[in-house]
Amino acid sequence: MAKKRWGKIVDLNKCVGCHACSVACLAENKVPNDKFRTKIIEHEEGIFPNVYRYTEKWSCNHCQKAPCVDACPTKASHYTEWGTVEVNPDLCIGCGYCVLACPYRVRVMNEREHGGLPEKCTLCTHRLEKGEKPACEASCIAGAIITGDLNNPDSEINKWMAKGAVERRPDLKTHPNVFIIPYRR
């Protein structure tokens, strides 16, 4: 069997904007309350009287062609064996180039911890390795998040891919491992 490639899908039709994923991520990763690795963005679109709202979960997309990895002068931002992107705090010098290079704006600098290093979603690989769901998925009350092995054709995530999952910003050509099922009115 091929090596695992962890990925995630967020179904924008199911996300209710409760922020449970953001709070679970803060608690799981012991991140300061103002340094969210997962963000919820509310959208309001249309013209009165045909206005609609939906929410969208944003976090690191674990790109296969990650600008943050290319921008890192010390190789602290790197690809893991599972296809995710992580930061090695022992190599990081806190320059912030990776934060500036991320076209999705999902990295933040944490000045209070680790001497000023970047924070980002790790896809909770520490949990995935033990067969557990990432904190965001485990806490999602709406069942809007699914993670899994994109290289396993029988995985649940690949069943969701068949439901119409797409890259969030294909124009950026980063080839993310995180996908969305677009909101449909």
Per-residue pLDDT tens over the stretch 46-87: 999 999 888 989 999 999 999 999 999 999 999 999 999 999
Chain mean pLDDT for the chain: 91
Burial class of 52 by CB neighbour count within 10 A (0 to 12, 13 to 18, 19+): exposed
Compute the average pLDDT of residues 102-114. Answer: 83
Judge contact between 157 and 7, C-beta under 8 A.
yes
Q: Read off the amino acid at residue 24.
A: A
pLDDT on residue 115: 66
Q: Find tokens 């976090």 and name the residue.
A: 59
Give the rounded percent of residues in the chain with a pLDDT score beyond 90: 72
**Domains (ranges, CATH) in the chain?**
6-181 (3.30.70.20)
Structure-block tokens of residue 42? 């509310």
- What gap in Å lies between CA 102 and CA 87, rounded to an integer? 13
What is the pTM (predicted TM-score) of this model?
A: 0.89
71 Cβ contact list (under 8 Å, min separation 6): 77, 97, 98, 100, 101
The pLDDT tens digits of the residues spanning 131-177 come to 999 999 999 999 999 999 999 999 999 999 998 899 989 999 999 99
**3-class DSSP state for residue 156?**
helix
